[in-house]
Amino acid sequence: MADERFEPKIIAFLCNWCSYRAADLAGTARIKYEPNIRMLRVMCSGRVDPSFVLKAFALGADGVMIAGCHPGECHYLEQNYKTMRRFSMLKHTLKAMGMEDDRVRLQWASAAEGVLLAGAINEMIEQVRALGPLDWPKNWSENGKIDEAIEQLVEEHAEAMEVPV
């Protein structure tokens, strides 16, 4: 059992224009990377709602990658800067929840950077493998706090969203 290697599950959000094409290119160029990553296409990295990341963790992912066009090269001109902003807030939140830094990663990859993307994927898989399983759903269920926590989050969210008249 002990010598069985931990195989992390990583969810990646790739923007349609640069990083998804980088993944296409990695394929066309037959650049090999580990199969622990499962990719989703979004139109822009700016579409990645922090709740997507939380959802992935809540469903059992061990790591999440967000990949987009390089700053200044966004297909939508400047939306990846918003991703950047959100990402630092997300990281801050996750840290407060006790999560290790390496479990989330923001990766820039242009459509020409298949090698770079594949390298980043492998690197992240290694880092998350070293951290071990996150197992959020299980950990939460065991101490019976999950429903309570969700309710509290919903309330807090509603309160925070009250717009003063």
- Return the H-helix or E-strand segment holding 26: helix 19-28
Nearest-angstrom CA–CA distance, 59 and 117: 25
Nearer to other proteins, 42 or 104 (CB): 42
Considering the complex, state which of residue 96 and residue 163 has its C-beta at the smaller distance from other proteins. Answer: 163
Strands 104-108 and 63-68: parallel
List the one residue from 67, 87, 94, 110 that touches other proteins (CB under 8 A). 110
Binding status of residue 91 toward other proteins by CB under 8 A: no
Closest CA to 75 of 63, 83, 86: 83
- How many whole angstroms separate alpha carbon 117 and alpha carbon 24? 10
Subset of 37-56 contacting other proteins (CB under 8 A): 38-44, 46-52, 55-56
| Site residue total, other proteins (CB under 8 A) | 60
Which strands form 10-15's sheet, in the order they lie side by side? 37-42, 10-15, 63-68, 104-108
Give the position of tokens 């197992």: 135
Taking CB under 8 A as the rule, which mask of x and - marks residues 59-88 in contact with other proteins? xxx-------x--xxxxxxxx--x---x--
Residues of this chain that interact with other proteins (CB under 8 A) are 9, 11, 17, 20-21, 23-24, 26-28, 30-35, 38-44, 46-52, 55-56, 58-61, 69, 72-79, 82, 86, 110-112, 118, 135, 137-138, 140-141, 150, 160-161, 163
